[in-house]
Structure 1
């Protein structure tokens, strides 16, 4: 779906020319017109739930997919960016085996793990309040950030606890021409210290920084498989835009971080026990809504190692 875009050039943020308001329609392209998406799906059924992002997959058993089905799932993932599959009561071993079809498993150094290190167990509610309610891209502080995340619901609250995802290619597409030109060649520094570091001692931060030192990634990243450009900064891990005066860099970063919050770029999912979400962590951000305390929400996630952004 494509619409003619209308950008409001005023009012501005300070005198640096960052538009604060956007009136009218937005350009909403699900893909960039790649030939990859011109063929039908034969081994699964897709039911779109968002305009550019998000589709429910039906007709598959994730515990027993074959190579041909995995190829179609991957194509659907590139097309829709996040896939939802219900009634998939995977064991931990099946969860890991599914993820390994896409590559090596990334062990998260900050999340508690389940019975095996490859699975991050996210149990919130009762006394532990959910804290993932910020727009983010997983592990962008790593040299090779996550490529794919697969999250399954073990138990969910009766009301609340939904998750949202944002299409960061749509966010980039709808930046004014002048802003896109300005940021295309910029880099930004990413670090875990901005978020995880808030709960760590200085000694623990120093130890973890020896494993995950600050690193610069492009502000505008290119998808390694589709060639699509997308915005690659996020609130908990992007510390600063490089090589700009501090005040200007802060204003620009604040403006770019805001783009994930635009509803036209988002999809929202209501969890049920056995629901699975698979998302392309490179081109999306997500937000776990923390509105269910003191109800309990238990999830398990397996993440696939990605490559260095370019």
Structure 2
């Protein structure tokens, strides 16, 4: 008697044929005319360097509106040469989008909501992974403001991936299969790897597993966005173990496609602001034994739908 080897749930082609859909905004969105900001795109659909603004000066209503619009349009925006930019400026800047959100794993590293993230010659560091901040929380962070305090002479770049574009380019078959599905997000497989069982139990009481839609509607644009990531999305609710693993693997790997990404080379006093629902990011750990010091503040989010 012969047996037939089970076919994979998802057939993964080695090559992509034809053009990709790389839309900066959703269908029907009008073009933005900026009166204050100088917007220099880094790719056609994600990432732009912003000129014409000194973020150490008070931010008036018109400038605030343009900054918010630029972030919605480009998903991550960059500023260079912001000398004299200090923590109170960072708090005020992040406040344009909402109140600060504490990182539950670095409470002692924060001052006024700003986390100081240092990697120096004493710490080789570890390879990063594509992720969306705080997706293991019921209301994940809406965005982040990150300042480069000290950077290596080479290396230490950060990349962002556009997850609305990632959704747009899924096959019709996959879109149909994931419509209405939810996924479990959990911090234990990642953060728990460096914690004791007692520490995990204590933190678990504060941070239980949560579920989010596999495809979310962006809370401010309504655009459909793929919302799964490698470290925190553990399974698809209601799917068999095999189907869940196949789907999670296929969907999380979409962030690795270069056409969906932008890469930013840091300089001292550079600043990045990113939309944490629309993007995932990856900090490249290639600069040992040099030093890299960043200061970040996250913006509190809302439950996703």
User: 1:18, 1:252 within 8 Å by CA — same for their partners in 2?
Assistant: no
Residues 299, 240 of structure 1: alpha-carbon distance in 2 compared, 3 angstrom cutoff: same
TM-score (norm 2): 0.94
Give 1:114 shift: 4.4
* Distance change in 2, residues 1:115/1:246 (3 Å): closer
Question: 1:54: how far off?
Answer: 0.2
Q: Does 1:51 align with 2:44?
A: yes
Q: Pick from 185, 205, 212: which aligns with 1:210?
A: 205
Q: Which residue of 2 aligns with 1:103?
A: 98
Q: Tell me if 1:138 matches 2:116.
A: no
CA distance in 1 between counterparts of 2:205 and 2:79 reads: 38
Alpha-carbon offset, residue 32 of structure 1: 1.0
Alignment of 1:164-203 (within 5 A): 164-203=159-198
Quote the residue 1:10 is aligned against: none
- Counterparts of 1:121-270 in structure 2, within 5 Å, are 121-131=116-126, 133-270=128-265
Structure 2 stretches of 5 or more lacking a match? Answer: 1-5
Contact 2:78 2:271 in 1 (8 A): yes
Residue 117 of structure 2 aligns to a residue whose secondary structure is strand
- CA distance in 2 between partners of 1:183 and 1:18 (Å): 15
How far apart are 1:112 and its partner, in Å? 6.1
Which digits, 9 at most, give the CA deviation of each residue in 1:231-260, with x for residues without a partner? 100011111111111011101111111100
Q: Distance in 2 between matches of 1:149 and 1:297?
A: 18
2:91–2:112: 8 Å Cα contact kept in structure 1? no
Q: 2 CA distance for matches of 1:39 and 1:192?
A: 38
Secondary structure of 2:111's counterpart equals: coil
Kindly state the Cα deviation for residue 63 of structure 1 after the two structures are TM-superposed: 2.2
| Counterpart contact for 2:158–2:281, Cα < 8 Å | yes
1:113 Cα deviation (Å)? 4.8
Distance 1:264 1:241 in 2: 26
- Structure 1 residue runs without a partner (length 5+): 1-12
Which digits, 9 at most, give the CA deviation of each residue in 1:166-217, with x for residues without a partner?
0001100000001001102111100110100100111111111111110000
RMSD (Å), alpha carbons: 1.5
SS in 1 for 2:301: coil
Using a 3 Å threshold, how does the CA distance of structure 1 residues 43 and 130 change in structure 2: closer, same or farther? farther
TM-score, length of structure 1 as denominator length: 0.92
Match of 2:76 in 1: 82
- Aligned mates of 1:130, 1:308 — CA distance in 2: 32
Specify the alignment match of 1:66 in structure 2: 60
Q: Report the 3-state secondary structure (helix = DSSP H, G, I; strand = E; otherwise coil) of the residue aligned with 1:63.
A: coil
Note the C-alpha offset of 1:117.
Answer: 4.9
Aligned to 1:4: none
Deviation of 1:102 after TM superposition, in Å, equals: 1.4
